[in-house]
Amino acid sequence: MFPFQVVYRDETQAARALDDERLLALIRFREPAAPLIDPRSGVIPLPELGGSSTVEVWLSAQPVCAGVTHGVSHAGNDAVLFLQCHLDEYAPDALQPLTAMAYRRLFAAARALGYPHLLRVWNYFPAINQECGGLERYRAFCAGRHQALVAELTEFETHLPAACAIGTDEPGLRLYALAGRTAGIQIENPRQTSAFHYPRQYGPRSPSFSRAVLKAWGERHHHLYISGTASIVGHASQHVDLMVQLDETLFNLRALLAQANRLTPEPLRPALLRVYCRPNLDLAALRQRIAQALDADPPTLFLQADICRRELLIEIEGLAVGSAS
């Protein structure tokens, strides 16, 4: 049995979700009219494409306990903990130490509550491609994350969480994370250099994340937490055209699913996707291409965002599920 499910709902159903004692997290994609003081409620400030108003609902299989620990909001059940950490940047060049601090807080809260294994982390901050003090902000973020993870993980290259890092237009560093009482299995993509082995041309510290994490819930139920995936082969960005980048991204997703499927008794199928795009695009064409490539039509949310490399136009992350009767 899975300990939680993730679904997209219309924003009009947000109040009903907040009344549910099983709610792990409610993620909006714009600020609510009245700020909510609820440790289960979070905001990713990215414009939704397509004219809809969607919320992402994380629903536990059982009632949750929610609270705030070490400045980190959280809600958890017997198996997993969803965490949220939002810090204001106190200086233009403070992103590196701020990121290290945020990650140390995530680990401190997760361990204090009995969930020592980070499975998935989402990272959001503004001006991701701009330089500050001679260093691109994404690279400064990577340096801060690396500093914290090296300190917190005893086996750095084999226990990294799945992750994405996305640029917003709103101030502040926002981290969301899923932690477990037991560890998952790190999955790498045979078409890509592992991010933590990127050459120094990508910054003083390589990005510290896995391409995906496979988590077993019993012997016959599996989640695959898929990191932000883009048009990268080896360590180099590929293509200029958006649709060609999309095709390369989908090749990478299929390769990642195939790699994970070698470890599961049942095939993993995409259950939910989130697509980050730079321009305002033809969503119908994107949906069709994604469905054809993945042989599936999972619920998909399109958000306008900045990607971690200037030349990349699109990035896809998601959740895949495998379950045998």
State the catalytic residues. Answer: 315
Q: Which of 80, 89, 82, 83 is nearest to 70 (CA)?
A: 83
Cα–Cα dist 126/133, whole Å: 16
Q: Which of 96, 171, 89 is nearest to 127 (CA)?
A: 171
> Which helix H or strand E contains 59, and what residues bound it?
strand 54-60
